[in-house]
Amino acid sequence: MMLNEIYQLKHELWLKVLFISFAIQDEKIKSELYDISQIEFRHLKWLGNKLVDENIEYNYERYAIDMVKSTSFECFEYLIHEIQLVMKNYNPDDEIFARMLSDEYYFITRLKRLLIESENYEIAAFNKKRIYNNKDLTKESIDALTMFLFEETYKEYELILIYSYMQNHTKNLTQYNVYQDLIDESQYHLKCFGNMLSIMGILAIPRVVIQELYKRFDVKQFLLDGIEEEKMAKEECRKLSMSVKDDELSKFFEFINYQENYHIELMKKAIRELDCC
């Protein structure tokens, strides 16, 4: 299998582990699965570096992912199967793949232990009940929250991929570090929104990010556009904070709103670096 084809499989695997971590209700297991997803994302980063070093084009195309499961054990069995399928394509003589194999053999061991040691319970992440922690929200609030979470989940996923691609294609250390900060921030936001979608029973994988969004020649214009998008995101957070009649949720969206301020400053920093070069 070609290296860029393995990259696609790893991209899909990262998403599968990540979104199953959102679906799991047990906080300890959820945390462990999320940590595994972050290691899978690190694998993806290393593989992207290898592709660039070998001058091989790659993209973020992927097949449809059906991860709707009824029980926690079905989730663990699903991940074991998906990891094993991807592992078959590694070259164990390559140091990167040797590391991936070592990690994923351990992941499989942990998932098999969960099948023995944990309780098998019903998964509520896909039941479409649209109830948030038994809060008494109005239909208008629920509709606004639903729309916001779907849009922002896609946006954060999109930004993670775009900034990863740009980071992998820059030789400038300042830009590289700015992109890493933006990736880390979007990872955190995606985690927050994904868990909220799960609580509401409407968890779903975001749509595919098209090549035109990340294979950009005018990086400065992309960043300028990004600043405007962050400003719009801030406004959406503000509106949602006001429309959702719940103090806890309003405070959360105010928190996210203020984080967007620093994202804007990071992008301005990257623009200044581009202007200096």
CA 150 to chain centre: 13
pLDDT score for 277: 64
* Longest CA–CA separation in the chain, Å: 58
Which tokens sit at 155?
């946006």
**71, β-bridge pairs:** 122
pLDDT score for 76: 98
Which tokens sit at 53?
């070093």
**Does residue 241 have a pLDDT over 80?**
no
pLDDT score for 253: 85
pLDDT score for 204: 97
pLDDT > 90 fraction of the chain, expressed in percent and rounded: 71
- 91-128 pLDDT, tens digit each: 989 999 999 999 999 999 999 999 999 999 999 999 99
Averaged pLDDT score across all residues of the chain: 93
**Does residue 66 have a pLDDT over 80?**
yes
CA distances from 233 to 59, 97, 203, 263 (A): 26, 39, 21, 11
Would the pTM count as exceeding 0.75?
yes
